[in-house]
Structure 1
Amino acid sequence: MRFAAIIFAGGKATRLGGVDKVMLRVNGQTLLERSLDAVTGADPIVVVGPRRDIQAPVVWVREDPPGAGPLAALAAGLAALDKPHIAIDDPGEVHVAVDDSGHTDVVVDDPGDTDVAVDAPGDAHVAVGDPGDIQVAVDDPGEVHLVVDDAGDTQVAVEDPGDTHVAIDHSGDTHVAILAGDLIGIATDTVPRLRSTLDANPGAAGAILVDDEGYLQWMHGVWRLSALRQAVPPGAAGKSLKSVLGALPLIEVPARAGETADVDTPEDLA
């Protein structure tokens, strides 16, 4: 079963004085790093929020408009899963042949911030978010090798400059972890436990934690990509996750002590 993740990192943290909450450190690790560690093995990992200076190879996106709420963030994350993304082993120069004009050098400074949208074989647009935006139209399909397994997500692995392989490999049954970026209590086995529960219940669309007071934790869940694509509307600004995901068949997984803790106030960091 394939596995992707969407992490929400766009809150304003008004109760924390407006600090960048997900970058607060607890025991030497930022809260965002804790959430990233919780989805180890996911590919891609989409982080919805302002770009931060981190080393992890993630895909950065923003909800539309910024600050439009968690459902809009989920819609933005799902849209990013529907786009090809590039994983570059060596963030140096990728050489793409264009027409007969030789080679166009695309310098990729940030391997986590490169999106590739392939409209058709032989028409690949490479958008490099940093620095600026660079688009490269490849008119000779012989220069780009496309392997299309499914109409889902596309991963581009560039192992050798000038030899780009595109593989569309995300099926509709991909597991998608949906997490907040400020989860101080999440454990390394939280997401695997949710995934195992979902695997054991083929009729369910998702599996989420429920705390000891019976509250469903919408930002501690794993869902089937096919169900999310059908349920999440494109115009999602101002709506809650519960308003849409609550209508889907889901499995409630009892949380362990402290597992659903997040950071909303200075006291939560104590």
Structure 2
Amino acid sequence: MLPPQRHSHILERLRRDGQVRVTTLAAELAVSEMTVRRDLGNLAERGDLVKTHGGATLPGGTTSSEPGFAHNLGIAATEKEQIARLAATRVQPGMSVALNAGTTTHALARILTQVPDLTVVTNSPRIAAVFDEGGTSQTVILTGGIRTPSDALVGPFAVATLRALRVDVCFLGVHGVSPEGGLTTPNMLEAETNRAFLDAAASVVVIADHHKWGVTGLCQIAELGAADIFLSDAGLPEAARLRLAESIDSVLIADNPTPLKETP
């Protein structure tokens, strides 16, 4: 196999799995590990991947990098709006809904102001403000906690509030999604708080634009299978959709809401 063919194979695996291992690639390509490392080095120089110990990941920053809310707000704004509109179709008047802090959940909150008689639980002052400014009939429960760079309220007070509640559905925004890392965030306290969101919900819907695929944060929130439904946009590669469908009951794409897989 020529170098361009090997490079294509490596990048296809990265798009599918979010990360690759040198030993695995060497076996798949029937070449030495030295050859694979040289290929990874060439691809890293082009900016197509980031070399790690024993393998490589997609570009996406360090695991502890934690961009602020304002920075994230300008990334994939159109895709987030599409995802939010699809997510909103799963909400009916009178439901209790949890929204963790994030820019995609913030987009969803703006739409949900039009749904009457909701009880909304959130650890985001920005999301709480959306409902307050809307002047609607929703009941909003805002957890206490320590504010993070992403404007999330986290820590023992937030967790204690969430453990006292049970909601119909949680819409969870995440920093990263990958097969091995699962659902991740760069902030340890935020990971703990997001796990409390999951525990409080009868149903979990992860809402993540395609840029989150292959990104791994420092702390795992949960395995992929913790989500009942995964909502993303058309930019999510087909290989990633199929990989997600192996672990999650229903994978929906905002411009094509037919599920890849859904349990009876």
State TM-score, norm by structure 2. Answer: 0.24
Give TM-score scaled by structure 1 length: 0.23
Between the two structures, name the one with larger relative contact order (CA 8 Å, sep ≥ 6): 1
